[in-house]
Amino acid sequence: MNRKEEILRLIEEGYTTAKELARYFDVSLMTIYRTLRELEEEGRIVRRHGTIELKREEDVRENNCAVCGKDVDLRLAFIYILKGGKKVHTCCAHCGLIAYRTLSPEKVEMAITRDFISCNPINAFAATYVVGSSVSPCCSPSAFVFADRENADKFAKGFGGYITDFGDAVVKMEELMKTGQRVDINI
């Protein structure tokens, strides 16, 4: 068993500090910190106030994007409501479009986002999108959502991008990202 797996096993058994782990492995704190940093970057542990815990599903909060992990800004947020009431939050339309394929569309009951101009909540499936403009307030390539085609046209005239509906926006985002790997989302 490698050190990372052994550390995860020890945390499960009750080891909660880097100092305890360093003693167990008879290595320096710096060595343990490097390994813990890797485990944290992999999303397998959480360090809080000097303690170490295994990352649990409940650690993924509504204020973190399920795709990229960024903080969710409610002005740009994209929220899927799944059958059974579970919600999947993404930081922006870019991540929202990427998440759609991963979520199994038959599990999605609704999708809510906000109009880029008015910030009013809108049905993401009925919206107009501008994908791949020269402006990127969050993730890149950008995706902006509009309640009506007229505002999307005006935006695209100034900043470029492809004007499209939800289904084609998902496809266009995949093309722009040249997806070859599955994106795992935290739900």
Number of other residues whose CB lies within 10 A of the CB of residue 25: 15
Give residue 59's pLDDT band: very low, low, confident or very high (50, 70, 90). Answer: very low
Question: Domain spans of the chain?
Answer: 3-58, 78-177
CATH class of 3-58: mainly alpha
The least confident of 6-10, 31-35, 99-103, 117-121 is 99-103
Secondary structure of residue 49 in the 3-state scheme: coil
pLDDT one-digit tens code per residue, 115-154? 999 999 999 999 999 999 999 889 989 999 999 999 999 9
Average pLDDT of every residue of the chain: 87
| Correct CATH for 78-177 of 3.90.45.10, 3.30.1390.20, 3.30.450.410, 3.40.50.11720 | 3.30.450.410
CA distance 89 to 73: 10
CA distance 143 to 161: 9
pTM of the complete model: 0.64
